[in-house]
Amino acid sequence: MLEVAAKARLGSFSLDIQFEVEGGGITALFGRSGAGKTSTVNVIAGLRRPDSGRVALDGDVLFDSTAGIDVAPERRRIGYVFQEGRLFPHMTAAGNLAYGMRRIQAPDRSVSFDHVVDLLGLRGLLYRRPADLSGGEKQRVAVGRALLMSPRVLLMDEPLASLDAPRKGEILPFIERLREDLSIPVVYVSHVIEEIVRLADRMVLMSDGRVAAQGPVEEVMSRIDLQPLTGRYEAGAVVTALVSGYDRDYDLTHLTFAGGVMQIPGIEVPVGERLRIRIRARDVALSVTEPTGLSIRNVFAGTVTDVSVDGAFADLVVDVGTPIWARITARSLDELKLAPGARVFALVKSVAIDGRSLGRRGRPIERDI
């Protein structure tokens, strides 16, 4: 377990955080630019000394202002992947990877060179120098170098921020494989919601140097009160669904979740896999009567549980077995007489599901959805 509690004054900015990261998987630090995400991971890594607080990893105290403990960064065994790869330009990819491994004594190594090379698809890049690598390839080597330090936790500070869309698409599957293949906990910094939904198991939502909320991604993203921090335009619910079938005639994938069965454009995921999907509030329409004769394929009966009005718009949380959001006009809210407790039908267009943020969660131990 990673335990973080720290206070620091950084010029006019004040950091005051407290959270825990349990077990493996990916924990996202999410928030707008200037929220304090990078300062937080620098405190964990030992690159920034807080004014007060305590940082511990699996019971090993790394920093404690009261006890006067401040373990040097190189002795914390924490891997760090920056926004840019920061590879040694005079070394080949293999040399950069070996540099990370050489810093750890053989008895303490938890991953092998070949395992990391195969996991990140680096076999064909080993004898090329950074100048001959694409941005995505550089980041994969940087991740490999950090992993070969056999870290107890891996910090990733917006590792995709400097990449264009094709390069992001290249590296995202490899980061997913880290979660599935290794037991190393990852703290992943991002302000891009698609990355969080696709990759993270848990999230710590930050604002103005404080922790505003923390918990499973589905739980935090479903809270309407956090909409100003999670993003109004991209706001919506996150749900986990089981790939339950495929319609070859129309190239549609069937997803079973707590609200029923949803159809989305065909994706290359085997039946039995779990996916996390994001249903944006602006892509959900509401009806007070059961609709017929529509092109919309996904209709779910539910109950309004929460309403928030902001000017011309209203956001509603609808419980269809799991919470989803709908954004409608305030006028529609009044005309349909919608309030908590109202029975409605939520309509979701199949083509509205964002394929870029579909996150694979593996096969369930039990078919509980």
Give pLDDT, residue 111. Answer: 82
At residue 357, the pLDDT reads 63
Report which of 47, 107, 125, 113 is spatially closest to residue 80, judged by C-alpha positions: 47
Q: What pLDDT score was predicted for residue 9?
A: 92
Write down all domains in the chain, each with its CATH number in brackets: 2-221 (3.40.50.300), 236-362 (2.40.50.100)
Structure tokens at 356: 């870029």
| pLDDT for the residue 363 | 54
Question: Of residues 288 and 234, which shows the higher confidence score?
Answer: 288
Q: Which percentage of the chain shows pLDDT scores above 70?
A: 95
Per-residue pLDDT band for 368 (boundaries 50, 70, 90) equals: very low
Signed CA dihedral, 134, 140, 143, 148: sign only: negative
CB 285 within 8 A of CB 347: yes
For residues 59 and 69, give the distance between their C-alpha atoms in angstroms, rounded to a whole number.
14
Structural contact between residues 282 and 244, judged by C-beta atoms closer than 8 angstroms: no
- The per-residue pLDDT for range 147-197, each reduced to its tens digit, is 888 889 999 999 888 888 887 878 888 888 887 777 788 999 998 888 888
Query: What are the pLDDT digits (tens) for 223-244?
Result: 888 888 887 666 788 888 999 9
Backbone angles phi, psi at 115, to 5 degrees: -60, -45
- Give me the sheet containing 284-287, strands edge to edge: 284-287, 343-348, 298-310, 313-319, 323-329
- Chain length of the chain: 369
The pLDDT assigned to 203 comes to 93
Quick count: other Cβ atoms within 10 Å of Cβ 341?
8
The predicted pLDDT at position 165 comes to 80
What is the pLDDT, as a whole number, of residue 223? 84
Q: What was the pLDDT predicted at 366? A: 40
pTM higher than the cut 0.75 = yes
- Sequence-ordered alpha helix ranges (H) in 88-151: 93-102, 113-119, 135-147
Determine how β-strand 202-207 pairs with β-strand 210-216. Answer: antiparallel
Strand partners, 359: 276
Question: Hey, what are 86's tokens?
Answer: 């920061």
Q: What is the pLDDT of residues 45-56, one digit of tens each?
A: 999 999 999 999
Cα-based angle 258, 261, 266 (whole degrees, multiple of 5): 125
